[in-house]
């Protein structure tokens, strides 16, 4: 029985745990929490942070794993590469390349060196002054170099406010520097793909619908396929292929966030992983390519069957998909609509909650406040899924002790 270490135990990794077990593997989950959502399905839970590469390496050596993987989250990509390197295990990406796609300082420098369109930026630290980023136009966005889930990301109208927020941003980082970039008014899209022998196949292009908050930006409330920007497919593909070359990626998953506005397409971020909006669920429905299976096979050094992707073009797909990422008002949960009722609705193929009755929902400051998810897919033609989304939104009840529905339709 092969042993697979899955880095991360949230609902984003639940499908990986279940799928690994369905293949007959022994699945070990590493997570900082004592009771992570996906941990209950694993054969073994190791309580170690996925940011703690040395701790994960020690655990991996003690267990004697055959492969390591992650999905849906940024920083464990680097840890997975370091674990694989330390144990001489297969990996689609080296530690150096993993660092480039998980550290925004390195990432931005690669964008700049390879003429990949991106917002103007500066790297700052606690000793910086206004003069160090005077060339940037307001508003500006302050980000950690190496965090995830929109933690420590702030949109600021006044550049002087940077120094009020810098400590908070750095508190979510292992680095002593942070990223500042010009805010670009735009629509946001995501590109998910698979790289085989340095050649990229784009699997989906989705609209990334965001929470409208003046300060806490980038918090995603839903994904929609096909994107309304499919008319830009040729340029999106060209930029995506340029990224593969610039970062010297030869195999594995690719996830790109792009911004489309009056100045054209700009690249926001790049990641070498399956996206965190349950792309592992919608990609097989749209492309016929089982991307989660491909990640497992790559982690074990096995060949990936590329047959389903021969002549595949996501811009010609007739499938429609929506990933609803739920948020709720602050309050203590009394009751929640049973998942079985959501899963019984038209076009719903997956759903999950991150909270349970009795738990308190905090204010929305980043993506960690997400209440849950619901995935809807239809192959009945464009426009067929809208009524099902409305039905889902009417069905979901997150009631507090006074019977108020905390669910926010965003």
pLDDT in tens, 123-159: 999 999 999 999 999 999 999 999 877 889 999 999 9
Q: Is the pTM of this model over 0.85?
A: yes
> 3-class SS at 336?
strand
Residue 323 is predicted with a pLDDT of 97
Domain 120-182: give its CATH code.
Answer: 3.30.1490.20
Query: Both tokens of residue 14?
Result: 């639940």
Please, what is the average pLDDT of the chain?
A: 95
The conformational region for residue 281 under phi > 0 = left, psi -120 to 50 = alpha, else beta, is alpha
Residues 15, 95: Cα–Cα separation, whole Å: 25
Query: Both tokens of residue 270?
Result: 């790049």
Q: Decide if pLDDT at 237 tops 90.
A: yes
> 3-class SS at 79?
helix
Mean pLDDT confidence for 62-91: 97
Mean pLDDT confidence for 52-64: 97
Confidence of residue 393 (pLDDT cuts 50, 70, 90): very high
Residue 384 is predicted with a pLDDT of 79
In this structure, are strands 320-328 and 372-378 parallel, antiparallel, or unpaired? antiparallel
Residue 367 is predicted with a pLDDT of 81
Q: Decide if pLDDT at 410 tops 90.
A: no
Pick from 64, 92, 82, 87: which is nearest to 2 by CA? 64
CB-count burial class (<10 Å; 0-12, 13-18, 19+) for 340: exposed
Q: Decide if pLDDT at 381 tops 80.
A: no
Residues 87, 357: Cα–Cα separation, whole Å: 42
pLDDT in tens, 266-323: 999 999 999 999 999 999 999 999 999 999 999 999 999 999 999 999 999 999 999 9
CB-count burial class (<10 Å; 0-12, 13-18, 19+) for 349: middle
Angle CA 160–164–169, to nearest 5: 115
Residue 59 is predicted with a pLDDT of 97
Lowest-pLDDT range of 94-103, 141-150, 232-241, 330-339: 141-150
Mean pLDDT confidence for 56-62: 98
Mean pLDDT confidence for 235-256: 98
Residue 375 is predicted with a pLDDT of 97
Q: Decide if pLDDT at 252 tops 80.
A: yes
Domain 3-91: give its CATH code.
Answer: 3.40.50.20
Confidence of residue 361 (pLDDT cuts 50, 70, 90): very high
CATH topology of domain 187-408: D-amino Acid Aminotransferase; Chain A, domain 1 (3.30.470)
Q: Decide if pLDDT at 76 tops 90.
A: yes
Residue 54 is predicted with a pLDDT of 97
Cβ-contact 158, 142 below 8 angstroms: no
Lookup result for tokens 């700052």: 124
Mean pLDDT confidence for 243-265: 98
Residues 240, 251: Cα–Cα separation, whole Å: 14
Residue 79 is predicted with a pLDDT of 97
Q: What one-character DSSP code corresponds to residue 137?
A: P
Residue 150 is predicted with a pLDDT of 86
Residues 7, 56: Cα–Cα separation, whole Å: 9
Parse the chain into domains and list their residue ranges: 3-91, 120-182, 187-408
Q: Decide if pLDDT at 385 tops 90.
A: yes
């Amino acid at each position: 029985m092969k042993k697979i270490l899955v880095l991360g135990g949230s609902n984003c990794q639940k499908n990986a745990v279940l799928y690994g077990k369905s293949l007959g593997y022994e699945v070990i989950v590493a997570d900082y929490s004592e009771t992570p959502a996906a941990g209950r399905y694993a054969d073994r839970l190791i309580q170690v942070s996925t940011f703690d590469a040395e701790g994960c390496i020690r655990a991996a050596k003690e267990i004697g794993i055959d492969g390591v993987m992650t999905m849906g989250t940024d920083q464990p990509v680097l840890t997975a590469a370091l674990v694989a390197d330390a144990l001489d295990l297969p990996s689609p990406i080296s530690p150096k390349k993993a660092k480039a796609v998980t550290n925004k300082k390195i990432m931005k420098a690669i964008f700049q060196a390879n003429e990949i369109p991106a917002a103007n930026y500066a790297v700052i630290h606690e000793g910086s002054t206004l003069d160090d980023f005077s060339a940037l136009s307001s508003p500006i966005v302050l980000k950690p170099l190496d965090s995830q889930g929109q933690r420590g990301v702030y949109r600021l109208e006044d550049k002087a406010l940077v120094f009020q927020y810098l400590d908070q941003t750095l508190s979510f980082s292992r680095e002593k520097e942070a990223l500042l970039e010009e805010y670009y008014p735009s629509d946001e899209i995501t590109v998910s793909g698979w790289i085989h022998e340095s050649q990229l196949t784009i699997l989906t292009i989705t609209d990334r619908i965001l929470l409208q908050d003046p300060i806490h930006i980038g918090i995603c409330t839903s994904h929609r396929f096909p994107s309304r920007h499919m008319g830009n497919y040729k340029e999106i593909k060209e930029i995506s292929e340029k990224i593969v070359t610039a970062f010297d990626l030869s195999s594995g998953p690719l996830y790109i966030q792009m911004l489309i506005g009056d100045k054209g397409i700009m690249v926001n971020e790049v990641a070498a992983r399956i996206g965190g909006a349950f792309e592992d669920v919608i990609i097989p429905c749209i492309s016929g390519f089982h991307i989660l299976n491909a990640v497992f096979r790559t982690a074990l050094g096995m060949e990936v069957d590329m047959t389903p992707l021969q002549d595949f073009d996501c811009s010609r797909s007739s499938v429609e998909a929506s990933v609803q990422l739920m948020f709720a008002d602050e309050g203590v949960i009394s009751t929640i609509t049973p998942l079985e009722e959501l899963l019984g609705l038209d076009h719903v193929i997956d759903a999950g909650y991150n909270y349970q009755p009795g738990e308190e929902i905090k204010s929305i400051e980043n993506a960690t406040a997400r209440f849950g998810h619901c995935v809807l897919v239809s192959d009945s033609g464009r426009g067929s899924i809208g009524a099902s989304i409305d039905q889902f939104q009417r069905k979901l009840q997150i009631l507090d002790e006074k019977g108020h529905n905390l669910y926010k339709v965003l």
